[in-house]
A and B are shown apart, each in its own frame.
Chain A
């Protein structure tokens, strides 16, 4: 599987450089593309209730359920659009949806003071 398609300069490409029919010629390129910025609700996991059944993993339309050592390990927020399907299908009510703005506010509070400014710039980019 090649991972060689360099699109860093795509906005400068002439018409003959684009793949025929605007095909994206290699898989999993969405990994490099943040789509989570649309989110207005954020899933929050209660690890004490989670039984690691992976029903959320099966249903998540954006492959945003993280797994580590065969355990549910939270959400890939770069790609989670906040649809809430995971919270809906969870048999243990271990996931609830929080207002994204509120979640961002909490994040800011939890950060050490030095990181706060950088974090803000990231979000506005």
Chain B
């Protein structure tokens, strides 16, 4: 039997962590992630979990401690946000390079400067090439579900990569939402126990982690093997997403489509913006517009072929990015990768990029409809407008 609760996103994450009961949680507080580790620290103090909680002096140390604990064969979780993730940068690559299945929530928040604490995807999008799997969540429910699945995905022997679960700062992390919580036992059965291929605590045959690759130089081969882990992750994420339905009734895939099958125009979004887009789609459909939504859940690995297959029948699509590559005129990261995925496709939609919501700038239903109007006008005029626009910036 599931329990339905009104919960903020951070509490939903902490509750999932309590049910998973990881061996080690090293953490450092940073808004808006703080309440995850604060709530979890209370659970540790109340002896609701067996976790060894390590209070460290920085996020760099938090991930360093997580890496050490994971190399020892423990199940390790942590959480961070924004500058905290930025400070972890060096260690992000070490966690993935050593193939340590750490699960980390990142509460998405803008990177300074100027100082801004609000929702923005600049933090995790910057880490997109760090070799971590990235799963984005539309609401607290998905964040809760993603965390539980992330453990299985990360620890799968074909994958062995760290997973970052993303949740929009404040919009999800600090807003009350309806969350269906699973009972403890099904979650425990679902995640099982960690079976690390190597453990520093294996005293009979102690391995070494993180050695110099030697003058033989086999770094390239190790990175190629790591790339294979990311390739293998797709099938594992799909399988785990299907199996998760068995305990929750909710199945997960790389992305979710909404009224997309017969649509001429599409909105592509990830995170909480997908909720706004869904309402915009409904309202536009009532006006007779054939509009659909594709909500991207899995950004790493990037499901290029599946996205091409799902969108090839679309005339034009508005791709929403809550961060900018700041690379000139090529647009935000979701747009850049989606456009690249379509390069070899015979049938492809005209793609427009809308960079929105930087530093927590509001995105409302009318703005979402405006993106659809813009791409419709762009197509009917036959005038190729700029592919990249800033939505909601004061001109």
Q: How far is the CA of A27 from the CA of B204 in the complex (A)?
A: 9
B3 to chain A, nearest CB (A): 39
Chain B residues within 8 Å of chain A by Cβ, number: 24
Chain A residues with CB under 8 Å of B208's CB are 23-24, 27, 29
Please name the residue on chain A nearest to B204 by beta carbon.
Answer: A1
Please name the residue on chain A nearest to B222 by beta carbon.
Answer: A22
Contact among B98, B205, B206, B228 with A21 in the assembled complex (CB-CB below 8 Å): B98
Chain A residues with CB under 8 Å of B160's CB are 20-21
Chain A residues within 8 Å of chain B by Cβ, number: 20
Q: How far is the CA of A125 from the CA of B228 in the complex (A)?
A: 37
The reply to whether B198 and A23 form a contact with Cβ atoms under 8 Å apart is yes
The reply to whether B222 and A13 form a contact with Cβ atoms under 8 Å apart is no
B306 to chain A, nearest CB (A): 26
Q: How far is the CA of A1 from the CA of B160 in the complex (A)?
A: 25
- B343 adjacent to chain A (CB < 8 Å): no
The reply to whether B209 and A21 form a contact with Cβ atoms under 8 Å apart is yes
Chain A residues with CB under 8 Å of B100's CB are 21
Contacts A1-B204, A2-B205, A27-B205 known; A21 to B216 CB distance under 8 Å? no
Contact among A11, A15, A25, A29 with B198 in the assembled complex (CB-CB below 8 Å): A25
- B97 adjacent to chain A (CB < 8 Å): yes
The reply to whether B221 and A15 form a contact with Cβ atoms under 8 Å apart is yes
- A115 adjacent to chain B (CB < 8 Å): no
The reply to whether B206 and A27 form a contact with Cβ atoms under 8 Å apart is yes
The reply to whether B222 and A24 form a contact with Cβ atoms under 8 Å apart is no
Chain A residues with CB under 8 Å of B216's CB are 10-11
The reply to whether B218 and A22 form a contact with Cβ atoms under 8 Å apart is yes
The reply to whether B221 and A26 form a contact with Cβ atoms under 8 Å apart is no
Contact among B211, B213, B222 with A15 in the assembled complex (CB-CB below 8 Å): B222
Please name the residue on chain B nearest to A17 by beta carbon.
Answer: B221
Contacts A11-B216, A13-B218 known; A22 to B204 CB distance under 8 Å? no
B223 to chain A, nearest CB (A): 8
Q: List residues of chain A with CB under 8 Å of any chain B CB.
A: 1-2, 10-11, 13-27, 29
6 further interface pairs, Cβ-Cβ under 8 Å (given A21-B160, A21-B222, A24-B207): A13-B218, A15-B220, A18-B222, A21-B100, A26-B205, A27-B208
